[in-house]
Structure formats: C-alpha cells, structure tokens
C-alpha cells in the first residue's frame, strides 16, 4: 500500500537538505573530475548512458536521494500506476501510456477488455492502413498515391508527434524508409492552416485529425478550414481524412473519415506520442516498422524505470537530482540542450511534458503545497544555442541547471573535414567542452572574461539517434516527470490550469464581457 | 555628460523598492480594471500600442520608475549611443545598429566615411543585386533564374533573419512580393546542412554566407559542406555564393563569391537583422522594397525611444517595468507569447537578443554587480502554448511575467466561421481572455480548479503583421534590452561568455585534454 505524503513531511527530505553542498568547480577538476565522469554514469536502453558527473552531487547526496526515493515509495508508485491504480485522482482515471509500448506488470482490464490488447490492436489497425496507403490500395479519387500527411492537432496532439517526426525525418531518408512528407497544423491563427495549405498539393494529401475528446476548438476549426480547401479543389474531404480520437467521441463513428483509430482517457495528450496520436502520422511518414522500433526503445527504457536501485534507474535518478536542484539548491529553471539538429523541437515537447504535468500548486488531494514544484523548461539545439543564450548560462547572475543530449554519429552519414576534424567531431567536442566550461569555469583577472563555473549539467550520450534511441529518450523524460510528480505529491496527469482561459475566451466571443475583459475586446474589435 | 553608476547606488532605485505593491487581481477587477486598460496604454509606431494595464504598477510605481529613468540618464545614454560614443566599452566600439535604418542624431564618421552613408550604400548594393537576381540578369550557369536563397550563418546571423523571414513569408505570398524561398543552415551538426540540401535544388540556389569576422567555425564548415555539394553537382560554387561580412574579413575580397556586402564592428550579431545580415536574405526573398518597409518601421519606433517622458516611450517603459519585476518583485523569467503563427521563431530571436545582451554579472567597468540582471526568456506562439506550458504559468508555484503580442487581422486573409466566429476572432479572444485570467484568477472551492491570479502581463497590439509593424516590433525589443542594460550598468554589446567553450572545444579537437575533459572526449570517441 503506497502512502501519498507531501515532500516536506518526509524525514528523508529534511535530511537531504542538511547534507553538505558540493563545490562543483572543485570536484570536477583534475584527476578527481576524471574519476567522477567514469563513476557517475548509469546505463540506459539502446546503449545510451545518463552521465551526471557534472551535477552538484556526491556519494552523500546520492545516499540521501536514495532514502528519499525509498521513503516516498517512488518505484512502488510507478508499480501502482502501471498495474492500473487510479493515479490521475483529479480526473479519476488510470494512467496507461506505458502500455502503448509494453506490459510492465499485471494485465489491466477496462472498457470491456484488456488494455494492452486494445493499444496493440489500434497500432495494428494503423499499420495495416499505412501499408495500404503506401501500396496505393488506399489512394485519392484519381487512384493516385497520397504523398503527404498533415496532422491537425494541438498541444499533446502536435508537439510530441511533430518533434518525433523531425527527429527521424532525415534518418528515414537515408535508411530508405521515408514514405510521406508530414506537415502539421495546430494554431487557431488561420494563417497556420493557410500557410501549410499553400505549401502542399491537397489532392495528394491525407489529413490526420487528432482530438481525444473530439471537441478541441482549435482542431475542429482547422479541420473545417482544411475541408473548405479540399472542397474548393473539387475533392471529397471524407476521402482525405482519418481521425485519431476516443471511442466515445463524436468523431468515432462519423462517415467524415476514411478510418478512425482510437486512444482512451487513460493517456494524457502530452504522454500520447507512443499511442495512435503519434502512431498514425509516424507510421504514414516512415512506415509502421519504424514506429514499432520507436516503441521498442521506449519499452526497453520503461523497464529500467522499475529498478529500485536509483543507480540503475536513470529516469529516477535524473528526477531526484532535479528535485534536489529545485527544492534544496533553489534553481527555478532547467535548460534542455540537444546537440542534434534533428532534436530541434524536442525541447518544446519536453517543455509541455514537464510544465503541464508538474506546474501545480496543490497536492493530489487539492491542498496547497509549501514548496516549489515543476521548473521552467526551455532549450534549443547546440551548437546554435552557444551563439545565443549561453552567454547568460555562463556569466549571468542566475544558475540554470542544464540537460545535454549528444550522439557519437550523425544520422545522414555525410560530413566534411575542416581543420583536421569532421563536423560531427566538432559538434561532440563542443558539448564536451561546454560541460567542463560550465562546471569548472576559468579564472581571469579581467572580470569580464572570468567564468565562475559551478553550473551543473548532465548529459545523455547515445551512438546515433535511431527510432529506438528516440523512444528510449522520450521514455526517460516521461518517467522523470512522473517520478518528480510523485516526490512533490502532485497529480502530474491533469491540467485544470488550462480551463479558465477557455471559459473567458468563450465569453469574449459571446460578447458577454464587462470590465477589463470588455475593454481589451474592444481594442481587438472583437 | 552621462554618469555610469550601478543601479543599487541610485536613490531612485532605493525609493522604487519602497513603493507599495500593487494587488493585481484587485486593481484589474470591475470598473477599475476597465479604466486601467484604457489608461495604461502607450502608442507605438505603425498604429500599434503597448498596453501595460495588467502589470503590477500604479501611478506611484510609474512615478518612481520615471525618477529612475531620469537619475540613470537612460535617454541621455541612448543619445550618447546614437551620436557615436564608445558604448561597447568591453570591445571599445561604437554601437550603431540604429543607423542601419535612420539617422537619430549627429553624423558619425568612422573608417574614413559617414556611417549612415555606408549602411545605406550597402543596402543599395544589396537592392541592386537582388533586383538583378529577380530579373534573371544574375542567373546560374545555365542562364536560369535562382529560385531559392539559403542563408549560412549562426547565432545573430541566423536567428533574427530566420525569424523575420518566417514572419513575412505568408504576408509576401498574398501580397505578390514573394520572390524566392529561403532556407537556413546554422548548426555545425552535419545533418543540418545535409538535411537542408536534401530539400532544395542546388542548381537554382543562391547561398548567402554570413560571418562578420569571416572566421566563425560553424559557418565556414557549412560553407565547405555546401561547396562540396555544388561541386558534386558539377556547379561552380563561386557562381552560387555571396558573402555578408566586414570589409576587413578574409571573405571581403575573395573571388569565391558573386558579390560581398559589408557590415562593420559597430553592429553586434544579435542587433544585425536590419543590416546586410538580414538585408541580403530578406531582399532576395521578398524584394528590396519590402526590406525597406521593414527598416521604415524600425526607424519610426526608434524615434519614440528618444522621448524623455516614459509614458511616451514604450521601449523605455517596458524596460523599466521589466527591471521592477526582476529586481524589486524578484521574478527571474519572462515569457514572450505572440498570438501569431508567423512569429513562431520571434521568441527564439528575443531569447538571444535579451539573454546574450544582458546575461552578465559584471558592470561596464568589470566590477561585479550585486543584483540580478537579464532574465531567462522563453516562449512559443499562442494559442499553441495554451495547450502546453500555460498550465504552469496559471497554477505553478512561480510567477512568470508575460509579454503578449497580438494583431487584429491575420496576414493571409483566409478564414473560416465556426460557432459564429472566425478563427482570427477566436485567436484574439483567447489572448484577451488569457490576460484577464492571469491577472484576476478565479476562486474555486476545489483548490485544484482555483486560480490565484496576480500574474502580470503586457500586450503589444497591432492591426496586422506587415513589414513595417515587424520592424517596429523588433526595434521595440532591441531598445528595451538596451535600456535595461543601461539601468543595470552593464555592457549589453559584448559576449565574453561564449569564449571559454570555444577554447575548450579546440583543445578537445587537438586532443590536448586531461581530467574530466579527456574522459568525456573518450565517451564520444573523439
């Protein structure tokens, strides 16, 4: 039986805050630094490692974190989650996104069936559909193959699938699994849909409408925009659209779609990349086999998240170090910095995943918590960021913990040698250099050129960004966020904070406003 | 004669911190809230307004901010800057980016000539070149027109021009000024260049190499990558490339380029969008007239930044409110939230502009400052962000000041009516609703559905995102950042914080490493 207690009631948390602080610049220098880099490393799936040598931890801090993990029953809570307990207490729902890629524990039955069978069944339906599209068995009215797939969705139905598509687009091109180009329409700004439509050939485009509830205003509006465009081109929208939705949504049985693929209430939008929400667009773009490989990587990483030993559980360890930085060391932000252009939108996805899950002020029973919860997450790929906001990260007045990601090889295999090194070597050399520069700094008599150091970072290192590696990476961060929510005793799986804006926007559109709301509306001539 | 003093030595700053705090939820409610929205608004250029009603200020705070502006001699410092004083003291350089779009004060002579004439001369050279490319007078070896322009640059040579291109791409398409598609290569990750090359027809592509020093490693590496691709296609790279650089750089007189356009040391990369750095790619993409309109908008907004009255100087007022939030109210982050899909990369540009300029810990004399300086900047367009990180902004444990931007009309003129409103109306209704939701909140017995409010925001409202409006918007933020640097008494125009990483990366590539640096290098097999 797991106990849900606020973090500040835990003895182990009190003890953690009393452990002596680590002087990062000092411990990362010389032979000691070399030893740390070798020692403070945890294997991940797919041959990757999570290296935390440049974090402000030592064996004493790690020991205290292990006690916190134990007292807070973090792996037991994960076990309860994947065995189907109602962990999303706010909405009274189970949390089953792990089951889209594997069976971690007991069979879970709901809605009249086994949930693992339901998710794999939907994956299979998508695979068959995608294969038919690729073979031309499903084609447009002129009998021609579809060449483009356009996802219409917002938030969790957009950021994750978009980031994953961009992560694998070039990999698929060089591995001959690139089937269809994908585009994405999300914003209610009509220029988003119009802009995308201006770049595609609608006659050869298949649209994937993604909305779990079937009522997301942005998505339905953009669907209508797209349908108009199809009709104006003399095409039948019902022959160009599929839906990804829940079985109970108004879209599920509609004749407006070539096919409908289902998810359910146990998968939150931001955790849905491995469900049909990501599955449809990624299977169409790269083939169902690639999507299956992506799921395999996530499943392999999920298994590691079951380990009780924090030094064998990279997501748990990453989560605990993050809590230490947020609550004991007092850092309010975390930057995600992938040294891989393919991961250009991965930080935006993690921003949603983390901030929407853990940006909460009340615990899972609705009582206020007395400690900071989820941090601000931001980031851009390196080396681009080095020529942008890294100035502040190195010499600004605030310390920002950093989360690097890097790969030994690039995806496309093309490269160029300049000054005796390849671009890929330069890329890797830069991330290595940054870790040490942030941690150790460098004294200079000219204070303007002085680097204090003491700026913590971790790095995930992989061989190459393959579908499996991407799945493992995604799983790592999903589970990290989950574990942090457990420590903070909050419900990471609802998002009541998005409701008030929706209610007020409806009032504005209905002209039922007064006070400031009315004057602002007047400024926009609404 | 201006005096450069640290902010905490100013009497007016001490007074500012003693002014009573504003209860935002209270003052923004009811008729009082309506009055504030009408009153707390400052005209910008191009018919735009900067509205700060939902900031935690009142007349007393504004009075204290006006005194701070006066004591810190903010407009006098701006005057010194545009009249050619050496404001970038670290690098002993003048700061002349305003002069790329207008003459705000006295003529400035340097490098043997009038600087305004130099910048307009380069703009003219670019315009003539672009017109010849568009007419086909400059064409590829087969005599065919160039259809694509690819910018090769990083940091300031990438983020600004890229954000501006995306901001005007759809506008240009519907206004029949879209001349050439633009692409951008920046990252040293070889997959960036390879990925872009996989999507273009190099035979009809013109490459713009941008590096002020002519020595930026990423950019030279990517140039070499592109040259290989051109040669492999049997093309002469010198017939497909132009350079934007300084007259003293190794690129300036090279035969490797069709043409070279010049900037100089008085324009920092992050302030260079209105120089040839933005001018070449934007003039080629949209025509020189559109680029000139963009400069006109910036020039008009620059003029407002001269006003001593803070209530007639939107950039100055925005800067002062930001300092109040950062130093007195203690908020470490600011989110930039444009309700315009065209501004999708504008926050990334502002992130560089702000964090690279003001992420400093020493004053302009090299002495440490005892107060926080530049904040963390992040953001994504609305309404997308509403379905992502807004959860934390509404209900998280930290307060994040917000900077909204919105327009009454969309750029492309296409729209759809759903539930009695257009998408554009929904977009505007959402931003209006968000401001009030953040400021006023809403009490709920269920604490999980409770919104505390008290979360400050400002909004810039324009009619439509035209080239002029974009120029004004850019100028606003450039000048805001400049004024904040003046208040904090830091040098906003150098970036020593990027140097250490470069030095260490070179050592890694030369295998001159030990300690942690060596072990990390081994992990990457470098």
| Residue of B362, B501, B525 with shortest CB distance to A447 | B362
pLDDT of residue A194: 97
B98 catalytically annotated: no
What are the Cα distances from residue B317, in Å, to B105, B157, B335, B339, B472? 22, 29, 17, 22, 15
**Tens digits of per-residue pLDDT, B35-76?**
999 999 999 999 999 999 999 999 999 999 999 999 999 999
**Tens digits of per-residue pLDDT, A54-104?**
999 999 999 999 999 999 999 999 999 999 999 999 899 999 999 999 999
Of the pLDDT bands very low, low, confident and very high (cuts 50, 70, 90), residue A486 is very high
pLDDT of residue A98: 98
Closest listed residue to residue B524, CA positions, set B516, A456, A54 = B516
> Alpha helices of B91-114 — where are they, by DSSP H?
none
Structure tokens belonging to residue B329: 């109210």
List the domains of chain B with CATH numbers: 22-83+305-488 (3.40.50.10490), 113-292 (3.40.50.10490), 498-526 (no CATH)
**Tens digits of per-residue pLDDT, A455-484?**
999 999 999 999 999 999 999 999 999 999
Strand A41-43 versus strand B205-210 pairing type: unpaired
Question: Element (H or E) spanning A523, and its range?
Answer: helix A515-523
Predicted ipTM beyond 0.95: yes
Alpha-carbon span A99 to B322, nearest angstrom: 46
Q: Which of A387, A419, A445, A511 is catalytic?
A: A387
pLDDT at A175 over 90: yes
pLDDT of residue B196: 98
Tally the residues of chain A: 526
> Alpha helices of A198-313 — where are they, by DSSP H?
217-232, 276-286, 288-304
pLDDT at B291 over 90: yes
Select from B429, B440, B460, B495 the residue whose CB has the most chain A CBs within 10 Å, as the one to mutate to test that interface: B429
Is residue B297 helix, strand or coil?
Answer: helix
| Residue of A383, A420, A442 with shortest CB distance to B187 | A383
Alpha-carbon span A357 to A322, nearest angstrom: 15
Residue B480 Cα to chain centre, angstroms: 11
CB B297 within 8 A of CB B467: yes
pLDDT of residue B1: 82
Interface of B with A in 445-464 (CB under 8 A): 446-452, 459, 461
Q: Which of B356, B476, B478, B480 is catalytic?
A: B356
CB B261 within 8 A of CB B125: yes
Interface of A with B in 92-121 (CB under 8 A): none
Mean pLDDT of A97-126: 97
Q: What percent of chain B has pLDDT over 70?
A: 100
Of the listed ranges A251-255, A489-493, B175-179, B504-508, the one predicted with least confidence: A251-255
- Give the helix, strand, coil percentages of chain A, each rounded to 5: 50, 15, 35
Model pTM score:
0.98
**Tens digits of per-residue pLDDT, B453-500?**
999 999 999 999 999 999 999 999 999 999 999 999 999 999 999 999
Is residue B184 helix, strand or coil?
Answer: strand
pLDDT of residue B304: 98
CB A484 within 8 A of CB A323: yes
| Largest pairwise CA distance in chain B | 73
Q: How many CB pairs under 8 A join A and B?
A: 512
- Give the helix, strand, coil percentages of chain B, each rounded to 5: 50, 15, 35
pLDDT of residue B166: 98
Q: Are residues B505 and A436, on separate chains, in Cβ contact within 8 Å?
A: no
**Tens digits of per-residue pLDDT, B323-345?**
999 999 999 999 999 999 999 99
Q: How far is B364 from chain A (nearest CA, A)?
A: 9
Q: Which residues, at least 6 apart from B124, have a Cβ–Cβ distance to it below 8 Å?
A: none
Of the pLDDT bands very low, low, confident and very high (cuts 50, 70, 90), residue B253 is confident
Of the pLDDT bands very low, low, confident and very high (cuts 50, 70, 90), residue A513 is very high
pLDDT at B111 over 90: yes
Structure tokens belonging to residue A476: 């790592």
Angle between helical axes of B159-174 and B288-304 (0-180°, round to 10): 120
- Tell whether A356 is within 8 A of chain B (Cβ): yes
B97 catalytically annotated: no
Alpha-carbon span A127 to A133, nearest angstrom: 10
Alpha-carbon span A325 to A372, nearest angstrom: 11
Structure tokens belonging to residue B203: 């035979």
CB B12 within 8 A of CB B72: yes
Of the pLDDT bands very low, low, confident and very high (cuts 50, 70, 90), residue A391 is very high
Alpha-carbon span B259 to B244, nearest angstrom: 9
A356 catalytically annotated: yes
Mean pLDDT of B380-385: 96
Alpha-carbon span A166 to A164, nearest angstrom: 5
Angle between helical axes of A159-174 and A467-488 (0-180°, round to 10): 160
pLDDT at A253 over 90: no
Is residue B112 helix, strand or coil?
Answer: coil
Q: Which residues pair with A245 in a beta bridge?
A: A262
């Amino acid at each position: 039986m797991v106990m849900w207690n606020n973090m500040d009631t835990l003895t182990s948390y009190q003890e953690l805050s009393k452990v002596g602080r680590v002087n990062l610049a000092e411990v990362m220098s010389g032979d000691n630094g070399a030893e740390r880099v070798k020692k403070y490393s945890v294997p991940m799936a797919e041959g990757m490692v999570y290296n935390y040598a440049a974090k402000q931890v030592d064996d004493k801090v790690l020991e205290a974190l292990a006690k916190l993990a134990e007292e807070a029953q973090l792996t037991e809570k994960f076990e309860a989650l994947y065995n189907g307990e109602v962990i999303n207490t706010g909405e009274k729902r189970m949390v089953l996104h792990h089951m889209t890629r594997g069976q971690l524990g007991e069979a879970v039955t709901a809605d009249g069936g086994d949930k693992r069978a339901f998710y794999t069944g939907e994956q299979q339906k998508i695979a068959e559909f995608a294969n038919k599209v690729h073979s031309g068995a499903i084609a447009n009215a002129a009998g021609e193959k579809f060449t483009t797939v356009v996802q219409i969705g917002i938030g969790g139905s957009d950021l994750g699938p978009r980031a994953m598509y961009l992560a694998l687009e070039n990999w698929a091109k060089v591995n001959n699994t690139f089937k269809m180009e994908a585009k994405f329409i999300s914003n209610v700004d009509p220029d988003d849909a119009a802009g995308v439509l201006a770049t595609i050939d609608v006659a050869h485009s298949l649209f994937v409408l993604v909305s779990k509830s079937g009522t997301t205003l942005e998505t339905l509006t953009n669907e209508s925009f797209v349908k108009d465009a199809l009709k104006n081109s003399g095409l039948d929208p019902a022959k160009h659209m599929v839906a990804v939705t829940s079985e109970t949504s108004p879209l599920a049985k509609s004749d407006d779609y070539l096919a409908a693929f289902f998810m359910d209430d146990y998968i939150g939008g931001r955790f849905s990349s491995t469900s049909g929400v990501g599955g449809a667009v990624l299977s169409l773009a790269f083939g169902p086999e690639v999507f299956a490989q992506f799921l395999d990587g996530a499943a392999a990483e999920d298994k590691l998240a079951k380990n009780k030993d924090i030094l064998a559980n990279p997501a748990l360890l990453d989560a605990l170090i993050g809590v230490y930085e947020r609550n004991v060391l007092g850092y309010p932000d975390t930057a995600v910095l992938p040294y891989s252009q393919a991961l250009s939108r991965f930080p935006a996805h993690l921003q949603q995943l983390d901030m929407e899950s853990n940006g909460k002020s009340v615990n899972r029973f609705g009582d206020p918590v007395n400690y900071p919860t989820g941090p601000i997450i931001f980031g851009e790929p390196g080396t681009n960021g080095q020529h942008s906001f890294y100035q502040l990260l190195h010499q600004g007045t605030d310390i920002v913990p950093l989360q690097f990601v890097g790969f030994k090889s690039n995806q496309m295999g093309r490269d160029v040698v300049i000054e005796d090194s390849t671009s890929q070597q330069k890329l890797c050399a830069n991330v290595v250099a940054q870790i040490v520069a942030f941690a150790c700094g460098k004294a200079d008599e000219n204070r303007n050129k002085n680097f204090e150091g003491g700026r913590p970072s971790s790095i995930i290192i992989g061989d190459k960004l393959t579908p499996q590696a991407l799945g493992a990476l995604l799983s790592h961060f999903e589970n990290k966020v989950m574990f942090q929510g457990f420590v903070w005793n909050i419900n990471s799986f609802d998002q009541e904070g998005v409701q008030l804006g929706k209610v007020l926007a409806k009032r504005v559109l209905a002209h039922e406003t007064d006070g400031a709301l009315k004057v602002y509306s007047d400024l926009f001539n609404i």
